[in-house]
Amino acid sequence: MSFDVHLNHAFGDRHIALRLQSDARLTALVGPSGAGKTTVLNAIAGLLRPYSGRIAVNGQLLFDSATGVNQPPEARRAGYAFQDGRLFPHMRVAANLAYGERLAPSADRWISNAEVIDLLGIDHLLTRFPAHLSGGEVRRVAIGRALLSAPRFLLLDEPLSSLDAARAEEIARLIERIRDQLAIPILLVSHDHAEVTRLAGEVVTLV
């Protein structure tokens, strides 16, 4: 099973009780703003410890409150593309990509820098600084950096949000290529059910 997530967590006055089991190449988690979608991604990546539950991806147990398993983020090897990109502003695109590559031991790398650049169509961006990128270009580079970290799975936080229709369509097509060409499970979160219907093999709603 690609994603097997059962967690309980509280933040502020909200409580998350999620049960997600999916074998789809791409699974979408949808829900309104403030429902806790990013919190779920952070828990899966190991950036946040849920109050209780169990998280396994591709059969690998990452967290289990009952047995005390809680793998650190670096052992989980999640490729995480954050909603705001989080590119290093003082580094050109090529250096941002290289940073992702340095996170992966050479023996674990399954995709090359050149392959990522070709897949994402970002060769013309390599010498630019993040401040000179459009929103869609930032998303592409962030996804590229995540892929170059040799992840076991990919987490995409609102990859289509705050983009105009044309840029959102470009990113949607990019995600389709990653889904269809790379053997890596993907969990994508969105506030818009309609925008992920074409991408996801399974959609789970968080309310």
Question: What's the N-to-C CA distance of the chain in angstroms?
Answer: 24
Q: Please report, for the chain, the start and end positions of each structural domain, with discontinuous segments joined by +.
A: 3-205
Mean pLDDT for 142-161 is 92
pLDDT for 38:
92
* pTM exceeding the 0.95 threshold for the entire prediction: no
Higher model confidence: residue 46 or residue 35? 46
Map residue 162 onto helix, strand or coil. Answer: coil
**What is the rounded average pLDDT for all residues in the chain?**
91
Q: pLDDT at residue 207 above 80? A: no
CA–CA separation, 136 vs 170, rounded Å?
A: 8
Higher model confidence: residue 162 or residue 4? 4
Q: Counting Cβ atoms within 10 Å, is residue 26 exposed (0-12), middle (13-18) or buried (19+)?
A: buried
- Over residues 165-206, the pLDDT tens digits come to 888 888 998 899 899 988 899 999 998 888 889 999 999 998
- Over residues 100-144, the pLDDT tens digits come to 888 777 777 777 888 889 888 899 999 999 999 988 899 889 999
Q: Which CATH class is domain 3-205?
A: alpha beta
